[in-house]
Amino acid sequence: MDMTTSLDSRTALQLDEAAQDLLFREARTANAFTDEPVTDEQLEAIYDLVKWAPTSMNNQPLRVVVLRSEEAKARLVPLLAEGNQAKTAAAPAVALLAADVDFHDELPKLFPHFPGARDLFDGDEASRASTAELNAGLQIGYAILGIRAAGLAAGPMTGFDAEAISKEFFPDGRHRVLVAINIGKPAAEGAWFDRLPRLEYDEVVTTL
């Protein structure tokens, strides 16, 4: 893609270039953080932004546990892949993002114009589980953008024992942890790996 096309693409967006860079072009998966705390105010602001993103039937199955204490992270770290342990132990905050298999119990509140919405899922746990995981996955993507919008870096990880983490931090057995995200201000050194290539528009998009 030549520079002219790239500039045209930037100006075709409603979002200004600084925001485009913050959320996408200059944002990176972080592997090291400063010790600056992640505050309750930042976490609440992130959630209050990303909660508006769409899910199927507005089902919003994402549930989150945030770990900040050394004691809580010590329960998590042994359940991670070895390459994820040290950076997670040092992160100011770690969010465990899970899908609630019983999301349908909230549908009378979240999808009130369809009174039968809950009953559609009530007797089919397999369908609920797949629906919950798909839509929680969407919400995880929104959450990463929300973290970046707060001026923080996100380090999402899937290298872990998902079943063990779900049992440890969601002991009711009704939640499935999908992703852990380290959150904080990126360290001045060691935060980033080299930027990897991306597929271009013509390699991905077909217009019929």
Least confident of 6-10, 96-100, 105-109: 6-10
CA distance 63 to 98: 5
29: which strand partners? 154
Question: For 32-79, what is each residue's pLDDT tens digit?
Answer: 999 999 999 999 999 999 999 999 999 999 999 999 999 999 999 999
Question: Taking all residues of the chain, what is their mean pLDDT, rounded to a whole number?
Answer: 95
pLDDT of amino acid 8: 73
**pLDDT at residue 9 in the model:** 78
**pLDDT given for residue 2 in this prediction:** 46
Exposure class string for 154-169: b at 16+ Cβ within 10 A, else e = bbbbeebeeeebbebb
Q: What is the Cα–Cα distance from 35 to 8, expressed in whole angstroms?
A: 39
Q: Report how far apart the first and last C-alpha atoms of the chain are (Å, whole number).
A: 21
Whether residue 99 contacts residue 175, with contact meaning beta carbons closer than 8 Å, is answered with yes
In the prediction, which pLDDT does 5 show?
46
pTM over 0.75: yes
In order of start, what are the domains of the chain with their CATH numbers? 34-187 (3.40.109.10)
Rounded-to-integer distance, Cα 40 and Cα 21, Å: 25
Q: Which two tokens stand for residue 30?
A: 């972080």
Q: What is the pLDDT of residues 147-187, one digit of tens each?
A: 999 999 999 999 999 999 999 999 999 999 999 999 999 99
> Using one digit for the tens of pLDDT, what is the confidence trace for 177-191?
999 999 999 999 999
Please say if the pLDDT value at position 3 is more than 50.
no
**150: Cα separation from own chain's centroid:** 14
DSSP tag of 106: G
